[in-house]
Amino acid sequence: MTRIRLHIEGMTCAGCAASAEAALNALPGVQARVSWPGAEAEVETTGELDLEALRQALSAKGYTARLAEGDETAATGNDLHIAIIGSGSGAFAAALRAVEAGARVTLIEGAEHIGGTCVNIGCVPSKIMIRAAYMAHLQAHHPFAGIERHAPRIRRTALLAQQQARVAELRRAKYEDILAAQDAVTLVRGWARFRDATTLEVDLPDGGQATVAADRILIATGASPAIPDIPGLAATPYWTSTEALAADTVPEHLITLGGSVVALELAQAWRRLGAKVTIVARGTLLSREDPDLGIALESILADEGITVRTHTVPREVRHDGQRFVLDCGDETITGDALLVATGRRPNTAHLALERAGVVTDARGAIVVDDHLRTSTENIYAVGDCTNLPQFVYVAAAAGTRAAVNMTGGEAALDLSVLPAVVFTDPQVATVGLSEAAAQAQGREVVSRRLDLDNVPRALANFDTRGFIKLVADARDGTLLGCQVLAPGGGEIIQAAALAIRNRMTVDQLADQLFPYLTMVEGLKLCAQTFRKDVRRLSCCAG
């Protein structure tokens, strides 16, 4: 339940108090007690707080109301109250686990939709768009003789309607319906900031303000696109990933700023839907990964007709009303759409963290330990607003563990084996250490790279783009890392993650049974190259 106190003006007698109390209690889920001498109402609600509905009910009786000084929007019933700022995957995972442990939860969200970035404007719509673009690409570029190839006919409005319908369906099934079934979780609509380490001030949609006092507070406010400080850029109608995913027409020429995950995924998708695409990257593609991945992927994108300009930073960006003009020094690039995908920044600036003593790093990310604790004892944080890796599954795992810790348990978030996927085609998938990262730790390593023309399933698919690379300890052969560029790379990488988690050697991996014909068999074959030349083996050679 949620409890607030209202100051009521216009009452002149005990009868007025009774009238006001009856008006409030007539609202669904509301229990109210009104005091005439104190001119206050104590109001409890079992559902979402609707301050405007309370005010309108009193206004109909001739009274006006405002939140009382120091009012507290807090759950009642159980002893432990947890307030969570945000409603994405990390927030929901924490809320559900906290309720299982007997806590009461107040979830505070100011955005139009609950569910956070992933389901609304990130993972879900992007993967739908990428898959649609893949199907369009196959119509014109599949490798099989005897099946006619033809240019796809793209109806972007129909694709977008289908995409957004699935987004709404998943948001309803995975967030809205689950929330509605949780009596111990109260949703408060509004934007929160800290008053102190135990109290939040919430700006409500109607312009009012509520306060939420809690025993524990979890920050799960996510991140937003980071816009580089390029002269002229801010004054142009550029896209972020949000606008790129919601665009209802295919641009003639899309310029993409950025060389990492979002930039590459959306650049390739728009190219396959019919746009001319130019990628402008400050460094190399996927510059934080093994260099082989970025080099190979750049060649693949170029083969699809994408122009890639690495080590390029625009001096200035202009928009003449119809087209973008990027001054890149020795080259001017023009296009009718510009996607800025140069990273994301934590959503922490509006939280007044200094009032609660919560420490952030130079980017504004909240610093947490492996138990998701911030610098303030009762305050925790998870997801993209922290210094943790920005993956939705990390946020969800962190949310669950934070809830365990906030309710008296002991749970650490272990990121020592963290698989990651870039949903280009072929996909880029990594886990563990790259060769350079292992060497930077002072390890003596050995590695092998297996090009996909050595993998029978890739040959059967007539698609041998990419490779599998394994990194092992030179002393005992323990598997340290895996880098994959392959169709279905995201499905392959989890097997490598499990092998690393269980400290398998490359010889043990090479001796495992893998089904034939599968792409994941490439892991076995790559492991075998540490001891033999797999080109001289028969199919299924054990």
List, by residue number, the catalytic residues. 11, 13, 16, 63, 118, 123, 539-540
Residue 361: is it exposed, middle or buried by C-beta count within 10 angstroms (0-12/13-18/19+)? exposed
CB 335 within 8 Å of CB 253 = yes
What are the Cα distances from residue 422, in Å, to 117, 410, 482?
A: 17, 33, 14
How does strand 316-319 pair with strand 324-327?
Answer: antiparallel
3-state DSSP assignment of residue 99: helix
Report the amino acid identity of residue 478.
T
Any alpha helices (H) in 110-155, and if so which ranges? 116-121, 123-141
CB-based contacts of 177: which residues, under 8 Å, 6+ apart? none
Q: How far apart are CA 20 and CA 440, in angstroms?
A: 70
Reply yes or no: is the peptide bond before residue 517 cis, omega within 30 of 0.
Answer: yes
Nearest Cα residue to 4 out of 53, 56, 40: 40
Q: How far apart are CA 533 and CA 522, in angstroms?
A: 14
- Write phi, then psi, for 68 (nearest 5 degrees): -70, 155
How does strand 445-451 pair with strand 223-225?
Answer: unpaired
Nearest Cα residue to 109 out of 93, 89, 85: 85
- Write phi, then psi, for 314 (nearest 5 degrees): -60, 135
